[in-house]
Amino acid sequence: MISEQIRVRFAPSPTGFLHVGGLRTALYNYLFARQNHGVFILRIEDTDRSRYVEGAVENLINTLQWVGLDYDEGPIKGGAYGPYVQSERLEIYRKYAKQLVDEGKAYYCFCTSDRLEQMRTELEQKGEFAKYDRFCLKLSPSEIEQKLKSNLPYVIRMKVPDNTTIKFYDLIRKDVEISSELIDDQVLLKSDGYPTYHLANVVDDHLMKVTHVIRGEEWLPSVPKHILLYQYFNWEVPVLAHLPLLLNPDKSKLSKRQGDVAVEDYRAKGYLREGLINFIALLGWNPGDEREIFTLEELIKEFSLERVGKSGAVFNIDKLNWINLQHIHRKTEKEMLPILKEILSRSKYKDLFFSDDYLEKVIHAMRERINYFAGILEKSPYFFEPPKEYDSVYIAKHWKAETPDWLGKLIEEFSKLNNPKKEDFENALNRTAEALGLGRGKIIHAVRLAVSGMGEGPGLYDILDILGKEEVIKRIQQAIKNIKL
């Protein structure tokens, strides 16, 4: 009997980074569990050893912690139904696979990979569904015993019933049915003694008392095999919910070719965890009204599987940027300081020292101009190093033959200032322009180019205030020397 307390699981394979689709699966499971005072389990499905990546488990756990999805049972934490890493549960799977063989619901298969490949090729050439031809199902008990004694490699296959319609209900897909003629005699236990996903998944979900299986749409074709296994073991089937695919803007399946797909990529760029989680939540689910900005606590309160749609959800980077910006607006410079520091610690500026006060001023100046924190380094590197080159279009437009002389006069005015603030820089520039009989704009544009190398950015006097008098003078002198018409 399935537990009365709601228990859900996120069961990733440790094959590298956490895909944003995996994060959505984890998030929906987490929200459903928290809303229903249930248990959120992390289970590591590492039975495909050919795809295992060293360090991936630690990275998964670290990334889930970063986004704030704390699991209740799983690796490191433990729990009543562990171990929670499938490679540590091999004896359990072998026991259940053997039980199915003894009951005539599965069988040994000794076919070589060459024979299987040839069989599939021939079936495909005939235009037939490429499934196993049950050659080994016809072996006599004595033949099987002989092959086992000879230590021939084997797998254990599930025996799929003939002429049967497998029906199930999915919270998102509703009623689904499929003919057993379209289901292969699935391998349950591989020749290396490891289970396939199908056996391990069903056994673990049952033994861990999982009540609801919430996972991606790509697993939908596997469900009939799982239903059969539940029936063979006489176990209750959990409630099923298969989430829609994530799509690129061109409606193709979300892939690395069209942009970042790993959660770690967005963390490295300095997206807020709040912004990323908010955006991911809306990929397939909607609150039923016009609201788009949510905290994790608000999502827990509002989320429901009934409001998850069937159609694919488009991963729109512009929407992510907009949502992230809304969360940036909610934070103080002090709250954002650790994020910028982390970005700097991984940048070419990692060995340079910047005071907290300095960095908070930079954040204040740039917070309306960025969608993520690496954008500060991308859009305003001049806060961390003097410009090495200058915008040629801006030079052509705003740097005249007389500009060095004008800037020389401005340096004289700036040199007289004592511990200046932004209004002091502004007043000094106004005095210079007036003395030269110039419009302020002619000097403002030249100074912006000199100190930043760019034609865009925050207000000029904010930049000057942040950089400070000595650095500003040094940069203007450098520009006078380096910019040649």
Active-site residues: which are they?
256
Encoding tokens for residue 311? 């159609």
Could you tell me the CA-to-CA distances from 391 to 172, 394, 448, 453, 466 in Å, in that order? 53, 5, 11, 6, 21
On the CB side of 113, CA atoms within 13 Å amount to 3
Q: Which amino acid would we find at residue 247?
A: L
Asked whether the beta carbons of 98 and 104 are under 8 A apart, the reply is no
For residue 380, give both structure tokens.
């305003």
Contact criterion met (CB below 8 Å) for 276 and 320:
yes
If you write DSSP's letter for every residue of 158-205 in order, what string do you get? E-PPSS-EEEEEETTTEEEEEEGGG----EEE-TTSPBPHHHHHHHHH
Listing from the earlier edge strand, what are the strands of the sheet with 39-42?
Answer: 39-42, 7-10, 212-216, 239-243, 165-170, 174-179
State how far the alpha carbon of 421 is from the alpha carbons of 290, 368, 424, 425, in Å: 44, 21, 5, 7
Render 405-439 in DSSP notation, one character per residue. Answer: HHHHHHHHHHHT-SS--HHHHHHHHHHHHHHHT--
**String of b and e for 201-223 (b: at least 16 CB within 10 Å)?**
bbbbbbebbbbbbbbbbebbebb
Instruction: HSE, CB side, 13 Å, CA atoms: give it for residue 336.
Output: 29
Nearest of 165, 166, 196, 184 to residue 123 by alpha carbon:
184
CA quadruple 207, 212, 217, 220: dihedral, nearest 10: 60
Distance CA 173, CA 241 (A): 8
Assign residue 189 a region: left if phi > 0, alpha if psi is -120 to 50, beta otherwise?
beta
- What distance in Å separates the CA atoms of residue 120 and residue 113, rounded to the nearest whole number? 11
Q: What is the residue whose two structure tokens read 């760029």?
A: 269
Interaxial angle between packed helices 317-329 and 273-281, expressed in degrees from 0 to 180 and rounded to the nearest 10: 130
Q: Residue 384: helix, strand or coil by DSSP?
A: coil
Give the separation between CA 422 and CA 358, rounded to whole angstroms.
Answer: 14
C-beta of residue 224 within 8 angstroms of C-beta of residue 178: yes
